[in-house]
């Protein structure tokens, strides 16, 4: 079904010959040394900086995709530029030749809901919010997570370049995403996962036809082993940050937010953070629009991490990166070595971003609050952003009438075990109305 080296590479070390039509559309720039690489030969990391990497620190040499922004402005004559980008499905800002090579599944274009009031506890009435709150629900993607945006673009790139087999390391969401998108594209997905990954996500991968390789270790162990396998067997690697196209896929959410807000910028966007790729994608999307003069500033983006896995926000003010062992209920953002730390730190510093950490208890509370008030059930990692927004509000850091977007990145159905201890399901009752009346009476007393 798949081969060890299904695409021609330079000794199978992860260098892919790029379609000739991509020349002059973009180039890659190393965020560490600044060296530029033409897209004819795509590497995962800057070859010079990669030599300096070790497994105890986030990797140097992450590549950033840079487009010919002036050419785009000249092409559209700067008139109604954003609308013209919409009409062309943003193909000028994507590292692929044709939108037709994306999956037929509906990836992206997820709803943005305006939430006008919240009931903060079982005992309270719903209260009108003194600020605007929008929920961007990316659990509505085909495999129920934000990761589909990246998988879709990587898959399209692979399709254009004759690549059939892809590999990824994942705690579950990226793996199920790649497997699902590959299933729709007649491609093969190989997924390295820590053995502790939620069962629902593993079931998804198997149902989509992906090959699971469970690792007796952490996500970081799975990541490192998948890179070794890439070098050995030549499989195309979708790993977050390691493959620069993952950021390009995730940035599409920023285009959508700006479009859905009728070409207005929010004041803040709250984003859950693990490896740092989603938040970098959010920044990159707005940065593209900034370089095209579509917008004149970038909104304040808030990085939200679990206190049990805060290896990004805890190191933002430090000169030297120090890793701490992660332990959190939010498995999708549980990362000891955040692979995109340096790009994330660069974006936050350059554009005056903010950050906050929240406890597992705050995450679970936020998940229940969001579900009860909106009907949106998010997994712990996906709702950390909402917990961060609640914490900002509690600290009086959200101005009256401010426009806030909370990015929800995954469905609660992906990790039921995380919340089941906090859920009480009534015992079965006798099939008569008196038993029903008693149960309802007990429920009302608890309220």
131 and 163 inside one domain: no
Q: Per-residue pLDDT averaged across 143-149, rounded?
A: 97
Residue 436 maps to a domain:
no
- One DSSP character per residue, 286-324 reads HHHHHHTTS-SS--EEEEEEETTB-TTGGGTT-SS----
pLDDT digits (tens, 9 = 90+) for 389-440: 999 999 999 999 999 999 999 999 988 877 877 778 888 989 999 999 998 8
Could you tell me how many helices (H) and strands (E) the chain has, helices first?
15, 15
46 and 193 belong to one structural domain: yes
Which residue in 375, 369, 408 sits closest to 390, CA to CA? 369
Buried b (16+ CB within 10 A) or exposed e, 179-217: bbbbbbbebbbbbbbbeebbebbbebbeebebbbbebee
> Do residue 70 and residue 133 come from a single domain?
no
In a domain, 442, yes or no: no
Considering the domain architecture, whether residues 69 and 136 belong to the same structural domain is answered as no
Phi, psi torsion values for 149, nearest 5 degrees? -60, -45
Q: Identify whether 441 is part of a domain.
A: no
On whether residue 425 sits in a domain, the answer given is: no
Q: Are residues 135 and 153 in the same domain?
A: no
Q: Which of 246, 280, 304 is the endpoint of a domain?
A: 246
Asked whether residue 123 falls in the same domain as residue 154, the answer is: no
Tell me how far the alpha carbon of residue 128 is from its chain's centroid.
30
Do 130 and 274 lie in one domain? The reply is: yes
pLDDT of residue 146: 97
Altogether, the residues listed in the chain come to a count of: 447
Single residue among 246, 273, 290 that ends a domain in this structure:
246
What residues have CB less than 8 Å from 80, skipping those under 6 apart? none
Domain boundary (215, 246, 277) is at: 246
Query: What stretch of H or E contains 387?
Result: helix 380-394
Can you give the pLDDT at residue 39?
A: 82
Over residues 380-396, the pLDDT tens digits come to: 999 999 999 999 999 99
d(CA 249, CA 253): 9
Asked whether residue 352 carries a pLDDT value surpassing 50, the answer given is yes
> Minimal CA–CA distance to 111: which of 276, 329, 264, 261?
261
Do strands 300-306 and 268-272 pair parallel, antiparallel, or not at all (unpaired)?
A: parallel
Q: Do both 343 and 390 map to the same domain?
A: yes
Question: Does 207 reside within a domain?
Answer: yes
Query: Do 237 and 291 have their domain in common?
Result: no
Q: Structurally, how many domains does the chain consist of?
A: 2
**Mean pLDDT of the region 170-181:** 93
Q: Answer yes or no: do 200 and 281 share one domain.
A: no
Asked, for residue 10, whether it belongs to a domain, the answer is no
Per residue in 288-332, pLDDT tens?
999 999 999 999 999 999 999 999 999 999 989 999 999 999 988
CATH number of the domain at 70, please.
Answer: 3.40.50.1100
Q: Is position 7 within any domain?
A: no
Segment 215-235, tens digit of pLDDT: 999 888 999 999 999 999 989
* Nearest partner of 145 among 403, 343, 409, 385, judged by Cα: 409
Does residue 134 belong to any structural domain of this protein? Answer: yes
Same domain, 231 and 290: no
How far apart, in whole angstroms, are the C-alpha atoms of residue 241 and residue 277?
6
Q: Are residues 373 and 340 in the same domain?
A: yes
Residues of the domain holding 393: 112-140+251-419
27 closest CA partner among 17, 37, 18, 16: 37
């Amino acid at each position: 079904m798949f081969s060890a080296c299904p695409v021609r590479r330079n000794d199978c070390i992860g260098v892919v010959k790029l379609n000739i039509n991509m020349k002059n559309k973009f180039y890659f720039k190393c965020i560490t040394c600044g060296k530029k690489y033409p897209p004819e030969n795509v590497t995962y990391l800057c070859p010079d900086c990669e030599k300096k990497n070790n497994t105890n620190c986030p990797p140097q040499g992450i590549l950033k995709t840079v487009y010919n922004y002036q050419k785009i402005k000249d092409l559209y004559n700067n008139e109604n530029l954003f609308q013209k980008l919409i009409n062309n499905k943003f193909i000028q800002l994507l590292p692929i030749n044709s939108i037709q090579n994306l999956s037929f599944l509906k990836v992206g274009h997820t709803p943005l809901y305006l939430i006008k009031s919240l009931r903060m506890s079982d005992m309270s009435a719903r209260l009108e919010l003194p600020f605007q709150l929008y929920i961007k629900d990316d659990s509505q993607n085909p495999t129920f997570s934000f990761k589909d945006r990246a998988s879709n673009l990587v898959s399209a790139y692979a399709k254009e370049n004759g690549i059939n087999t892809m590999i990824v390391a994942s705690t579950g969401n990226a793996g199920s995403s790649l497997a699902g998108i590959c299933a729709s594209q007649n491609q093969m997905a190989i997924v390295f996962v820590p053995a502790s990954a939620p069962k629902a996500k593993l079931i998804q991968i198997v149902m989509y036809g992906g090959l699971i390789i469970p690792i007796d270790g952490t996500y970081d162990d799975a990541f490192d082993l998948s890179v070794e396998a890439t070098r050995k067997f030549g499989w195309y690697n979708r790993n977050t940050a390691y493959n620069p196209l993952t950021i390009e896929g995730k940035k599409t959410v920023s285009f959508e937010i700006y479009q859905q807000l009728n070409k207005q910028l929010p004041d803040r966007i709250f984003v859950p953070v693990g490896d740092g790729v989603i938040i970098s994608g959010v920044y990159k999307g707005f940065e593209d629009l900034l370089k095209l003069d579509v917008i004149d500033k970038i909104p304040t983006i808030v990085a939200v991490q679990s206190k049990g896995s805060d290896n990004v926000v805890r190191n933002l003010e430090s000169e030297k990166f120090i890793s701490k062992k992660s332990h959190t209920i939010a498995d999708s953002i549980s990362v000891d070595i955040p692979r995109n730390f340096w790009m994330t730190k660069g974006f936050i510093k350059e554009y005056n971003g903010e950050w906050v950490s929240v406890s597992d208890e705050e995450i679970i509370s936020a998940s229940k609050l969001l579900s009860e008030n909106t009907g949106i059930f998010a997994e712990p990692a996906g709702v950390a952003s909402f917990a961060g927004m609640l914490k900002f509000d509690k600290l009086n850091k959200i101005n009256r009438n401010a426009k806030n977007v909370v990015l929800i990145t995954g469905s609660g159905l992906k990790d039921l075990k995380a919340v089941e201890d906090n859920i009480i399901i009534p015992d079965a009752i006798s099939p008569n109305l008196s038993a029903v009346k008693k149960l309802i009476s007990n429920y009302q007393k608890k309220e």
